[in-house]
Chain A
Amino acid sequence: MHKHLWTWHRRLGALISVVVIFLCISGIALNHTEGLKLDQRHVQAGWLLDWYGIDAPSDAWSVQVNGTRIMLLGDHLYADDKLIAAPFSELHGAGWNGQMIAIAAGAEMLLLTPELTLVERMTVSEGLPADIQAVGNGLADRIALRTPDGLWLTDRQLLGWEPAEEGAEIQWLPAPVQTTENIEGIREHYRGRILNWERVFLDVHSGRILGSAGPILMDLVALMLLGLAASGLWLWSRRLR
Chain B
Amino acid sequence: MKHILKHLAALLVATLPLALAHAAVYQEPAEFVTESFHGKPPTPKALWLTPELKKQMQEILGHPPTGMRIRYWQDKQRTTWVLDEIGKELPITTGIVINNDTIERVRVLIFRESRGWEVRHDFFTDQFRGAGMNGKGSLDRNIDGISGATLSVRAVEKLARVALLLDQTTKNTP
Q: Which A residues are closer than 8 A to B by beta carbons?
A: 51-54, 74-75, 86-87, 113, 117-121, 123, 125-127, 157, 159-160, 194-195, 199, 210-213
Kindly count the residue-residue contacts between A and B in the assembled complex, taking CB atoms under 8 Å apart: 73
CA A37 to CA B82, docked complex, whole Å: 29
Asked if B30 contacts A125 (CB within 8 A), the reply is yes
CB-CB < 8 A to A118: which residues of B?
Answer: 66-68
What bracket does the count of chain B residues touching chain A fall in?
Answer: 20 to 34
* B45 part of interface (Cβ distance < 8 Å): yes
Asked if B2 contacts A127 (CB within 8 A), the reply is no
CA A210 to CA B17, docked complex, whole Å: 28
Asked if B68 contacts A125 (CB within 8 A), the reply is no
Q: Which B residues are closer than 8 A to A by beta carbons?
A: 1-6, 8-9, 12-13, 16-17, 20, 28-30, 43-46, 66-71, 82, 93, 109-110
Asked if B9 contacts A120 (CB within 8 A), the reply is no
15 additional A-B residue pairs with CB within 8 Å, beyond A120-B46, A125-B30: A52-B5, A54-B6, A87-B16, A118-B68, A120-B71, A125-B28, A125-B29, A127-B44, A159-B71, A160-B43, A194-B13, A210-B1, A211-B4, A211-B5, A212-B4
Which 3 pairs between the two chains have the least Cβ-Cβ distance? A211-B1, A53-B6, A125-B29
Given A210-B1, A211-B1, A119–B68 Cβ distance below 8 Å?
Answer: yes
Given A51-B2, A52-B9, A194-B9, A125–B67 Cβ distance below 8 Å?
Answer: no
CA A94 to CA B99, docked complex, whole Å: 38
Asked if A53 contacts B2 (CB within 8 A), the reply is yes
Contact partner of B5 (CB less than 8 A), chosen from A53, A87, A113, is A53
Asked if A126 contacts B71 (CB within 8 A), the reply is yes
Interface centre among A53, A117, A157 (most CB of B within 10 A): A53
CB-CB < 8 A to B13: which residues of A?
Answer: 74, 194
Interface centre among B8, B28, B66 (most CB of A within 10 A): B8
